Structure 1
Amino acid sequence: MHLVGYRFNKGFTLIELIIVLSIVGLLLAIVAPISIKAVDKTEAKTELLSTTKWIKNIGFQAFIEQQNYTLELKGNTLNLYQKPSNILVKTKTLESLSFTQQWINFNANGFVTPEHIEGHFRNEPLSILLEPANEK
């Protein structure tokens, strides 16, 4: 018995699979770098916000503990010292932020000097206001 015109169509050909895999690979090559950049940007923004909040909370901590603190900003490292004993309380290393050497003083009443700091965020200039503007 002969079957005329019967073809086996129970799968994909090798050519079809190669074409589909090539298209998927091309799409991944385009989408992956965009996704990685978005994740890096989000992580950098999170670091900026958490660091700014941490610096502002030092004033609150100084007030609660009735203790003076000095924060040294140098490169991508922040060093918090308890004054007048000069004891290192905490060191924080940053990835996306950097600063020229600056000192921020927090007195026992929670006031900070200077009121703003200058640095760089992802190689762009940055200014952080530590005290809220006076409302008149």
Structure 2
Amino acid sequence: MHAANNKFAYGFTLIELIIVLSIVSLLLSVVAPISVKAVDKSAARTELLTTRNWIKSIAFQSFVESRSYQLELKDDMLYLYQTDTNQLIKTKKLESLRFDALQVKFNNNGLVSPTQIQGYFRDEPLMISLESSSK
């Protein structure tokens, strides 16, 4: 008889389960957009750093090879040309960065003109310095 009275004492009721699931779904609806935004921001930041380093490596390459290059920036695309032959060497598509139409020139000594370019990082204005740091 004692076992029959305790048969419902070990489980959860449907109401308790619904309340717990409601709380969990409410927490996920708050946390999920924040975590997705953090992942997107991290990917955009990584793209910014790799693009900046890629542009700086072009300056180094022009110095080492003693060749002049021209980098053309249009919206989300980068086009690298060898100036002597006007041959397209490389293209790069960007996901988070945008640029107005702009040309960056690298001379035989690796010097870049202009030294700063303006773009848009996740639709916010951004200035990218192309000067190599001495630190």
**TM-score normalised over the length of structure 2:** 0.90
- Kindly state the Cα deviation for residue 124 of structure 1 after the two structures are TM-superposed: 1.3
- The residue identity in structure 1 corresponding to 2:6 is R
Where do residues 1-136 of structure 1 align in structure 2 (5 Å cutoff)?
A: 2-3=1-2, 6-8=5-7, 9-132=9-132
* SS class of match (1:71): strand
**TM-score normalised over the length of structure 1:** 0.90
- Kindly state the Cα deviation for residue 10 of structure 1 after the two structures are TM-superposed: 2.3
- The residue identity in structure 2 corresponding to 1:6 is N
- The residue identity in structure 1 corresponding to 2:5 is Y
- Kindly state the Cα deviation for residue 39 of structure 1 after the two structures are TM-superposed: 0.8
Q: In the alignment, is the contact (CA less than 8 A) between 2:56 and 2:132 conserved in 1?
A: no
Hey, what's the Cα distance between the residues in 2 that align with 1:96 and 1:20?
A: 39
* SS class of match (1:104): strand
- The residue identity in structure 1 corresponding to 2:16 is E
Hey, what's the Cα distance between the residues in 2 that align with 1:69 and 1:84?
A: 8
Hey, what's the Cα distance between the residues in 2 that align with 1:106 and 1:34?
A: 41
Q: Which moved more, 1:28-37 or 1:120-129?
A: 120-129
* SS class of match (2:91): strand
Hey, what's the Cα distance between the residues in 2 that align with 1:122 and 1:10?
A: 53
> Aligned-residue CA RMSD in angstroms?
1.8
- The residue identity in structure 2 corresponding to 1:27 is L
Q: Which moved more, 1:2-11 or 1:118-127?
A: 2-11
Alignment deviations for residues 80-135 of structure 1 (CA, whole Å, 9 cap, x no partner) = 0112111111111111111111111111211111111111111111111111589x
Hey, what's the Cα distance between the residues in 1 that align with 2:42 and 2:111?
A: 31
* SS class of match (1:72): strand
Hey, what's the Cα distance between the residues in 1 that align with 2:97 and 2:3?
A: 74
Count of equivalent residues: 133
Q: Which moved more, 1:5-14 or 1:25-34?
A: 5-14
